[in-house]
Amino acid sequence: MSYIDAHCHLGSHQFDDDRDEMINRMLSKRVDKAIIICCSKHDLGEGIRLRNQHSGFKLACGIHPQSVEPEDTTERFERFRKIVDECKPDMIGEIGLDYYSHPHTKEKQKEFFIQQLQLAGEYDLPVDIHSRKASADTLEILKKYPVKGIIHSYSGSVEMAALYIKLGYFVSFGASVLFPNAKRPAEVIRSIPLDRLLIETDAPYQSPVKDHRHEPEDVVNIYKVISQIKSISMAELENQVEKNYDRIFRSVSP
């Protein structure tokens, strides 16, 4: 059995000095399956190299909503399509809407989101969704363009999670469960069926500890908290999350 980090940026510049050591640390903790999210040329180059070296690693690439510029045209999307053709990712992501950090590019974000969902449908690939302060629009768009995928770093309500699940999505939880007094994530996790649950770090981001670079090996701590919230053993949780992960990549029909 493996622990899985369902969303991490292993190609990030923050790992440039010690990437191989970081990978060794995660493998020694049995975190040997991971989805490597690549949203820049640099990250993608490293991501491809890592996927070639480790059979448990999957490659995702996407135009991140935070990187969308007001002057972007469909040319940017066409360039992205070429990258997908060349790199043959296992997943499209992270893609979505971020009205919290980039409210001024709302309309452009929607355009790129829709185009990438259509591309995922066309290429029969699952998607990894980033949605911040944009759940109504995210849900409406996902309903119109049905594909299989993951809602990454979920931090919304019990009700919204149920709607994503109804659409066939998996819901992934990160380090927010580690914060003291994390009442809301616990309540939401309790409501998620075990066969729709995934776990991630978003490393090197979203560290629960100040000035600590988040690493995939830290995912084991998130598993621990979730196994307590769900009142199941670590082995049972590990087994179920691995089944869910394998299901994402087996077939795209929800």
Site for Zn ion, residues 202 to 221, rule: CB under 5 A: 202
Nearer to Zn ion, 40 or 191 (CB): 40
Smallest separation, CB 114 to Zn ion (Å):
20
Please say which residue, 124 or 172, places its beta carbon nearer to Zn ion.
Answer: 172
Query: How many residues of this chain interact with Zn ion, rule: CB under 5 A?
Result: 1
Tokens 């302060």 correspond to: 133
Nearest to 127 by CA among 172, 75, 185: 172
Cβ-based burial of 39 (10 A; exposed 0-12, middle 13-18, buried ≥19)? buried
Minimum CB–partner distance for residue 130 and Zn ion (Å): 7
Nearer to Zn ion, 2 or 67 (CB): 67
Closer of 202 and 215 to Zn ion (Cβ): 202
Give the binding range for Zn ion (CB under 5 A) out of 82-90, 157-165, 200-208, 240-248: 200-208
Tell the smallest beta-carbon distance from residue 235 to Zn ion (Å): 28
What are the tokens at 205?
Answer: 């981001």
* Three-point CA angle 62, 186, 228, nearest 5°: 105
Distance set, CA 205 to CA 73, 211, 215 (Å): 29, 11, 9
**Is residue 43 close enough to count as binding Zn ion by CB under 5 A?**
no
Give min distance, CB of 9 to Zn ion, in A.
6
Q: What is the CA radius of gyration of the chain?
A: 17
Helices 219-229, 183-191: inter-axial angle, 10-degree rounding? 70
Residue nearest to Zn ion (CB): 202
Q: Rule CB under 5 A: which residues touch Zn ion?
A: 202
